[in-house]
Structure 1
Amino acid sequence: MKAAQIRRQHLVSKVLLKQFTEASSEGSGLQLRPVDVRNPERRTKLASPRTCGWADTFVAFDSASAEKLWDSVETRAHAAFEAVRAGTPFADPVHAEALRDLVVLHYVRSYRYRSVYTNAFESVSGKLRGQLVRQYPEQLRREALRQTRLHLDSPGSLGAFAERLIEQSEVAQEFESGKLFRTSIEGMFHKVRAEAAKWRLEVLTPESGQFLVGDNPGVSVRTDAKPLTYNIAFKDAHSIVLPISPRHLLALGRDDLVGTIPRATVNDLNTVQIRAANQYVYMHPRSTRLETFARDTARRWRTDSADD
């Protein structure tokens, strides 16, 4: 029997979002504070982890397969987070591996990856259309005549027919159904996971201030410039960072370490989360200064982007 399609798919794991919550005084469960970075003036209500960090039908084909893979990472996060809070993330190698896999999961399962994937497919399809018209015009004319009984002569008409052939291909059909995306994102997870296994893990805490987390939380960064360069190719990155609580951030690095970072670096990393976010960042409900920082940063970012 075919598994039911899962519509509400969390891109930010609920187990991670729960680290930014506190229990509601009104008895309505755990809550965190979302901030809409697209509309920084908008006031948002406290929300539960269940209602945050998700996308509608992110994986549209056989979502159960992807969810099973993601779950194999997320179920190991509980014990790993306990080890982080206890200050012993490296006491058991299983915990370090679970935390590293969580970084990889949030780097791959993201709006950013879906955008890169879609743009790459559309770019390849456009190039293929041009190549067919330039290299195989006679074959296209004959096939058009066979299928449509029309004599196509102009490059525009041949290009339109070439596009039709591409849309009829098995690969294009799998792109439209979402099957290609599911196999692509699962394959990318395994590829990045293998590469990340060569890196070590840093567990960082702020000297002051708190971390927030965005809805594109696993972010690749370079640290050789200010402001930090982010959303770059994995092979060109100095690290991938992932906030996992107001007091802890994971970063792939050269050595396993537990360390503290100054307030200025915390602000830089929070700015990366805000700028890399698709729409929301999330924080502890009582992080009023951080909420102001997020709104001000988002407002400046949108103003600067509009001026460019």
Structure 2
Amino acid sequence: MHKKASPRECGKVKHFARFASASLEQLWGKLETRIPDAAAAVDRGDVFQHEQHVQTLKDVIALHLVRSLNYRDVHERIFTKIYTEQRKALLTDQSDLLRLAVLQQRGVPRRPASCPRPARTSPRASVPKRASHRASATSEPR
């Protein structure tokens, strides 16, 4: 035998808001308290004389659209497409940007003591060091 669902159970989608669901519900709860006054202004015909009621109605429409299944599907498709494209680009064509971002976030990695520093092979390695500035300052005038 099939049990009828209560109004609270109807139209409910588990895990609808995957991110920030608590703050979304909190926002919706605050908005719900403003709806009766805005609806009364609509019934009276003076809603456009009260900016707070106009804002409430705009918020209701926006939040209703954001919470729709169609919007969620569009968002997921766009997110997946952009995420995949950006990941591919960062790992291939834009790998320099990824390396720079990691260095900015994490800093230059330190070499473990067990891993010796490689010998320098650049031409500068063989250039003798110049006398320090202090040594020349204490010597006789030129």
Mapping for residues 1-308 of structure 1, pairs under 5 Å: 49-131=7-89, 134-135=92-93
How far, CA to CA, are the matches of 2:87 and 2:49 in structure 1? 55
Shift of 1:132: 5.2
Equivalent in the alignment of 2:101 = none
Q: Which has the higher strand share?
A: 1
Equivalent residue letter for 1:86: R
Q: CA deviation at 1:90?
A: 2.6
TM-score by length of 1: 0.26
- Paired residue secondary structure (2:47): coil
Q: Structure 1's 133 and 105: CA in aligned 2 closer, same or farther, altered over 3 A?
A: closer
Measure, in 2, the Cα distance between the counterparts of 1:125 and 1:97: 34
Deviation (angstroms), 1:53: 3.1
Which string of whole-angstrom CA distances, capped at 9 and with x for unpartnered residues, describes residues 41-78 of structure 1? xxxxx976423332212123452212112222221111
SS of the aligned residue for 2:45 comes to: coil
For 1:104 and 1:129, how far apart are their aligned partners in 2? 31
Whole-Å Cα distance in 2 between the matches of residues 99 and 130 of structure 1? Answer: 42
CA distance in 2, matches of 1:112, 1:125: 20
Give 5+ residue unaligned stretches, structure 1.
1-45, 138-308
Aligned pair in 2 of structure 1 residues 95, 125: CA closer, same or farther (>3 Å)? Answer: closer
- The higher relative CO (CA closer than 8 Å, separation ≥ 6) is in 1
Q: CA deviation at 1:135?
A: 3.4
> Relative to structure 1, is the Cα distance of residues 72 and 128 closer, same or farther in structure 2, using a 3 angstrom cutoff?
same
Q: Normalising by structure 2, what TM-score?
A: 0.50
Q: Residues of 2 paired with 1:62 and 1:127: CA distance?
A: 25
Shift of 1:123: 0.8
Match of 1:51, SS?
A: coil
Bigger Rg, structure 1 or 2: 2
Q: Work out the percentage of aligned pairs sharing the same amino acid.
A: 39
The AA in structure 2 aligned to 1:52 is C
Quickly say closer, same or farther: Cα 1:114–1:47, change in 2 above 3 A. Answer: same
